Amino acid sequence: MSALPLVTAVLAQTPGTPTGPEFGKASPLGLIIVLVLLAGTFLLIRSMNRHIKNLPATFEPEHPEPDQEADDGTEHGITRTEPESGGKRREGSG
């Protein structure tokens, strides 16, 4: 016979650990809390699915022209456009 199971059983039981017929029983309040949490999770998932179905297929704007300046890294009014006259600008002239 090995003493290992006996030593393990003695060391596993610490003083003050509840034992007897009432040990390990849960109250009905615990069941109610678990059911409320499950119902809340179900309702949150259902609500999230409704919101996801209402999202557009793409988030690309229909008319991206006003946003194009910001995408190019420019600010409105700072860029200078060259005249169509065909004149060339020299580097360094502002």
Query: Got the DSSP string for 77-93?
Result: TT--PPPTT-PPPPTT-
pTM above 0.85, yes or no: no
What is the pLDDT, as a whole number, of residue 73?
Answer: 59
Q: Compute the distance between CA of residue 8 and CA of residue 15 in angstroms, rounded to an integer.
A: 15
pLDDT tens track for 2-25: 777 777 776 666 666 667 777 777
Question: Which of 5 and 28 is assigned the larger pLDDT?
Answer: 28
pLDDT tens track for 30-43: 899 999 999 999 99
Residues making up the chain, counted from first to last = 94
Phi, psi (5° rounding) for residue 78?
-90, -35
Non-local CB neighbours of 76 within 8 Å, separated by 6+ positions: 69
pLDDT tens track for 49-71: 999 999 988 887 677 666 666 65
